[in-house]
Amino acid sequence: MKTILVTGGAGFIGSNFVYYMLEKHPGWRVVCFDALTYAGNLETLEDAMKNEKFRFVKGDITDRKAVFSLFEEERFDFVVNFAAESHVDRSIEAPEIFLRTNILGTQVLLDACRKNNTRFHQVSTDEVYGDLPLDRPDLFFTEETPIHTSSPYSASKASADLLTMAYYRTYGLPVTISRCSNNYGPYHFPEKLIPLMIANALENKPLPVYGEGKNVRDWLYVRDHCKAIDMILENGRPGEVYNIGGHNERTNLEVVRTVLRILGKSEELIKFVKDRPGHDMRYAIDPTKIRNELGWYPETDFDTGIQKTVEWYLNNRSWWKNIISGDYVKYYERMYGKR
């Protein structure tokens, strides 16, 4: 029996990971520590709450006292850090909270792990590598690609990665880092491209596509990401970075058109809007290392995953409607006007 601390487990990927681990390792205890920011949602964890192996603790990773006292109450075998401010557009508007949560919060967790000699896994992003040009489809991010960030969000994530590696080198803390491409699937907050487009299309609202919609993202079904992290915890080598991606590159316009096609909606809903400042052109992961070392491969291709995702949003309308009728609406309207 192992006990795992999942920080940020009330958000999109963290909650999927909570469910994945409870199912995959029924004997393990899963403790979720989450500040419940605008992106955290206890409704998402309703089913986990019914499982006696699961415990939810509300708390902020930047709160040293709260984190250290949790480590006094429980002995963790692993800490997996999903807790972060995660939206690039918000980081452009207001970077400070990104630095506080993503860098200083990670440091607090690293210190707590150091004190207790706990294995630490940092969930990072391919955005730390910057972007690739559209006219070089032969190029991919490997673990050796230099860090070259574009947004305050990616700069904060890269800083946390560097700090994580510093704790490995300086203190010998057992750490691993994963850098994944764009995730999609259930419980994805409807400010990100795919869930926003599904929600807007279902309500016959305009679908705001930045610039010309030519930017490319490499889509990873969230469950495949969870599987990869579980494999890294079990067999990953301390001090190593693992890239996670499944060669599912699509332009944003292709993604939006696919959503509209599945929903049977008109492409007239697409509205090209002002581009994001510093907008990265293309992300594309080379997953050779994790495939060769750990035997990971993605099980869900984009066509299957997007179909399942759209169906999930159709079947769980109250989940996203509750969100868009709350505080998030104010932010959205400030950015794009009334929906």
Residues in contact with ligand NAD by CB under 6 A are: 7-8, 10-14, 34-37, 39-40, 60-62, 82-86, 101, 105, 123, 125, 157, 180, 182-183, 189
| Residue with Cβ nearer ligand NAD (125 or 248) | 125
| Residue with Cβ nearer ligand NAD (86 or 176) | 86
11 contact choice in ligand TYD, ligand NAD, none (CB below 5 to 8 Å, kind-dependent): ligand NAD
Residue 336 structure tokens: 């794009």
* Spatial separation of the C-alpha atoms in residues 224 and 308, rounded to whole Å: 14
Closest by Cα among 122, 150, 131, 325 to 240: 122
Distances (CA, A) of 19 to 3, 15, 44, 318: 14, 6, 10, 20
Q: Least distance (Å) from ligand TYD to the CB of residue 87?
A: 6
Neighbouring C-alpha atoms within 13 Å toward the C-beta of 99: 5
Task: Confirm whether 280 is a catalytic residue.
Answer: no
SS3 22: helix
Neighbouring C-alpha atoms within 13 Å toward the C-beta of 52: 1
Instruction: Catalogue the E-assigned strands of the chain.
Output: 3-7, 29-34, 54-58, 78-81, 119-125, 175-180, 183-184, 207-210, 216-218, 220-221, 240-244, 249-251, 270-273
Q: Least distance (Å) from ligand NAD to the CB of residue 8?
A: 3
| Residue with Cβ nearer ligand TYD (166 or 253) | 253
| Residue ranges binding ligand TYD (CB under 6 A) | 88, 182, 192-193, 196, 208-210, 215, 217, 252, 276
Task: Confirm whether 283 is a catalytic residue.
Answer: no
| Residue with Cβ nearer ligand TYD (68 or 210) | 210
From 153, 187, 221, 283, active-site residue: 153
From 34, 85, 126, 131, active-site residue: 126
From 60, 127, 131, 280, active-site residue: 127
Task: Confirm whether 127 is a catalytic residue.
Answer: yes
> Which residues are annotated as catalytic?
126-127, 153
